[in-house]
Every structure is written in C-alpha cells, then in structure tokens.
Amino acid sequence: MASDKGILYGLGVGPGDPDLITLKAGKILQHVDVVYAAGSTKNDHSLAVNIAKAHIPENTPIKLLRFPMTSDKGEKKRAWESHARTIISEIEHGRKVAFITLGDSMTYSTYGYLMKTVLDLAPHLPVVSVPGITSYQAASASLNRPLVEGEESLLLLSGARGGHRFRQCSACTENIVFLKAYKNVIDINDALDEAGCLETSVAVSNCSLPEETVTRDLRTLDGAGKNYWTLILTHRKAENGQTKK
Ligand SMILES: C[S@@+](CC[C@H](N)C(=O)[O-])C[C@H]1O[C@@H](n2cnc3c(N)ncnc32)[C@H](O)[C@@H]1O
C-alpha cells in the first residue's frame, strides 16, 4: 500500500543539551507519526531519545531499533537491512517517520548506514536528512577554544584504532579531533606524545550534559577513562604561534 505522504526524516539531535537541537529538527518532531532511535541489544537506554524527549509530543510512539554490538560485518548488514525494511514498511503505509541520532546525522552515525540501506532497497521513497550540532562543535564552544582559524585545517579521526591514523595523517594539519576515543586512549596518548601534542590536547566527556567533564591531563584517562561519550581535541600550533588551551 504505497502512499506519497510517508517520509523518512533523519534528524541529528545535537550532543546532549536539548536546547542544542535545531529548530528544524524540533519542528519535525512535533508532526511525525513515529520516532525511531538506535538501541543496543543489551538495554533500553538511548541518549538520543533522552535529548529529544522534550520535543516529542506525549502520544507519539518512540521505538528502538536494536543494533548488535558486534564487529561481524554480516551480522551488522543483516540488522541494517531488517531495520531498513521496518522503516520502509512505515513509509509505505503513509507514515511520517523520524530516525533520531546523536550529534549530526551524517557524522559517524548509525543513521548513515540505515539511510543508505533504505535508499538501496527503496530508492523511490522520500528521505530528508537534517544536520545536527556535532559533539566536537559543542566541546569547542564549551572550552571557548576555536576549532579552526585563519588558514588552519581540521582532521576528524575515529579513535577506534588508537593512534594509528593520527600517526599516518596528522603531519599536515593543525587541529585534530578524535571521536570514539574511549577504548584506545593509551595508544592515542602515545601517538600525541610522539608528535609533541599531549600538552595541547584536551578530552571532553558528556559534553553539554550536566555531567560534562574536561580532562586536560590525558594520561589520567588511562585505565579509568572508559566513558564512551568522550572526545579529544588536539592542536599542533596556531597560525599566530599561540597555543590553544
Ligand atoms: C558514533 S560517534 C557519533 C558522533 C556524533 N554523530 C556527532 O555528530 O558528534 C560517537 C562518538 O561521538 C563522541 N560524542 C558524542 N556525543 C558526545 C558528547 N556529548 N560528549 C563527548 N563526546 C561525544 C564520542 O567520541 C563518541 O564515542
């Protein structure tokens, strides 16, 4: 039963503070028929839902799509396909669907995989992606520390493989952001130390949430620093010769 009224909105809901949701995402949440978010197979928690809740009308159903915590590519693909089919079925029944995701919808986001799978399986369906404020934009603002200035550049890295990519790529840039840094902080610290960047690096956890913490001595993150919601801002040398703090 196809309908031209059904649509998928992929909404980035910002880094944590509900006031950091865009007006556009907030307005869309007011009129969709159902809200989906990624969940784990282990619990019912969704930070994206907690953030967006204030903007979702009470009678709008909120559903979690559970993604297995696995590195098995086949298992992941099967989960995306199954969830994409759920979303496609909603749209084909004429429903307006929001899929909410933390930070920006297009930055290291489950939504990216889901959206591509929906469009692969049903290219005729309308999909509108709405950007959100990223975690590292919020961290930069929280620290009053500009991300990039003048002719500087910025390298966005996943820390999931430790300092490997930093060692390969960071020589040509002044500013580096590590997301997904929490598990491999020891190797990331070693790589930063080798490049003389440890002193100008800062970690922000739970950014824009009441429990936000800032760690300026990254070595103290060793061992205990296992907070998934942690990112690292790193700096080589500002164009004007000044060091960022
Ligand atoms: C899968 S990525 C999602 C990135 C997100 N889409 C964004 O635009 O920021 C998850 C990583 O983002 C970072 N992150 C997301 N929200 C954060 C927050 N509120 N505080 C600190 N780091 C955060 C952490 O590095 C975390 O491991």
Sheet of 213-215: strand order equals 154-158, 175-179, 230-235, 202-205, 213-215
CA of 212 to the centre of ligand 1 (A): 13
Average pLDDT over residues 26-49: 91
* Residue 169 per-residue DSSP state: H
| pLDDT above 70: residue 70 | yes
Average pLDDT over residues 12-39: 97
pLDDT in the model for residue 1: 41
Average pLDDT over residues 1-30: 90
pLDDT in the model for residue 213: 95
pLDDT in tens, 178-201: 999 888 899 999 999 999 999 999
pLDDT in the model for residue 4: 57
At 221, the pLDDT band (50, 70, 90 cuts) reads: confident
pLDDT in tens, 165-183: 999 998 889 999 999 988 8
* Identity of residue 135: S
For the chain, how many residues are written?
A: 245
CA of 103 to the centre of ligand 1 (A): 7
CA of 230 to the centre of ligand 1 (A): 7
| pLDDT above 80: residue 43 | no
Q: Can you tell me whether residue 88 is helix, strand or coil?
A: helix
Average pLDDT over residues 131-158: 97
Average pLDDT over residues 123-142: 98
Joined together, the tokens standing for residue 45 give 């928690």
Separation CA 42–CA 199 (nearest Å): 38
Cβ of 230 closer than 6 Å to ligand 1, yes or no, is: yes
Separation CA 52–CA 101 (nearest Å): 9
Separation CA 129–CA 104 (nearest Å): 10
Highest mean pLDDT: which of 3-7, 54-58, 237-241?
54-58
Residue 118, φ and ψ in degrees, nearest 5: -60, -45
Cβ–Cβ contacts within 10 Å for residue 1, how many? Answer: 7
Among candidate residues 191, 176, 196, the one with its CA nearest the CA of residue 136: 176
CA of 124 to the centre of ligand 1 (A): 31
Cβ of 159 closer than 6 Å to ligand 1, yes or no, is: no
Separation CA 190–CA 175 (nearest Å): 17
Fold of the 135-235 domain: 3.30.950
| pLDDT above 50: residue 3 | no
| pLDDT above 80: residue 212 | yes
| pLDDT above 70: residue 224 | no
Q: Which atom of ligand 1 is nearest to the CA of 15?
A: 19
At 49, the pLDDT band (50, 70, 90 cuts) reads: very high
**Are 7-130 and 135-235 in the same CATH fold?**
no
Residue 220, φ and ψ in degrees, nearest 5: -75, -10
Cβ of 110 closer than 6 Å to ligand 1, yes or no, is: no
Cβ of 10 closer than 6 Å to ligand 1, yes or no, is: no
Scanning the structure block, which residue is given the tokens 């903007």? 55
Q: What does the domain layout of the chain look like in residue ranges?
A: 7-130, 135-235
Separation CA 46–CA 36 (nearest Å): 10
Separation CA 187–CA 99 (nearest Å): 34
pLDDT in tens, 85-132: 999 999 999 999 999 999 999 999 999 999 999 999 999 999 999 999
Fold of the 7-130 domain: Cobalt-precorrin-4 Transmethylase; domain 1 (3.40.1010)
Separation CA 25–CA 91 (nearest Å): 18
Residue 55 CB-density burial (10 A; 0-12 exposed, 13-18 middle, 19+ buried): buried
| pLDDT above 50: residue 2 | no
